[in-house]
Homo-oligomer: A and B are copies of this chain.
Amino acid sequence: MIPIRSASTAQQVHDWLYRCVLRGDLLPGMRLSETEIAAQVGLSRQPVREAFIRLASDGLAEIRPQRGTYIGRISVRAVLSARLIREAVESDLGRMVARSRPDLSAMAAELDLQARADAAGDVPAFVESDDRFHGAMAEAAGHPAVWQDLERLKAQMNRMRHLSMRVFDRSATIAQHRAILTALQAGDGDAAETAIRTHLRQMLTELPEMARTHPDYFTD
């Protein structure tokens, strides 16, 4: 028999809240009430409370003792750190891919998806495909586990991107992705690194813009 191993209720609540925060359904600074959520999902406070603890560990919520729990604001510093880490790591991964010349059809497929999502104006689909594009590169480099680690760091970044991708030019992102893929297919490590760094540095201009537009969503 297949071990379905339904996760604990508290874990399920956490996963639900986690997605809500990343998708922007729960906005920075918003208040989270244990009793309120508990009533919504038909549970007692305890599992909800434990879900909040997990959420705080993710850096997505802030538990202020005896005061209340709030959705954390997007930390500019955290986004910049994650960005720097991504630039360094993905540069190395890109070089590995360029050297070993693996199959890159997965990345190409995501590129097509992005074009369609852009045309349809489906922002969530675009952002998710963007993620999978970079994940596919890590996979092609033979280090899928590294992408798992980056996912955690990227949490804060993703929240911003769900906002910024509504505003900024998505076709520019697609062009940058295409440049990366072309360099990788050509096996040109230097060009790949350059393209990757250029692409990820795009965020350095987007971030201050978003922080200016939505000052109450950001901190630091």
Contact = CB atoms under 8 A, between A and B. Distances in A.
Interface in A57-98: 57-58, 65, 77-78, 80-82, 84-85, 87-89, 91-92
A145 B81 contact: yes
Contact of A85 (B46, B77, B89): B89
A149 to B, nearest CB: 5
A126 B143 CA distance: 31
Contacts of A153: 149
Interface residues of A, number: 32
A99 to B, nearest CB: 15
Contacts of A118: none
Given A5-B65, A8-B65, A88-B91, A81 B50 contact: no
Contacts of A57: 54, 57-58
A150 B150 CA distance: 11
Contacts of A152: 152
Interface of A: 5, 7-8, 10, 46, 49-50, 53-54, 57-58, 65, 77-78, 80-82, 84-85, 87-89, 91-92, 143, 145-146, 148-150, 152-153
Nearest 9 interchain pairs by C-beta? A57-B57, A88-B92, A88-B88, A88-B89, A81-B145, A81-B146, A77-B145, A81-B149, A85-B89
27 contacts: A5-B65, A7-B65, A10-B53, A46-B46, A49-B50, A50-B50, A53-B54, A54-B57, A57-B57, A57-B58, A77-B145, A78-B145, A80-B145, A81-B148, A81-B149, A82-B149, A84-B89, A84-B143, A84-B146, A85-B85, A85-B146, A85-B150, A87-B92, A88-B91, A88-B92, A91-B92, A149-B153
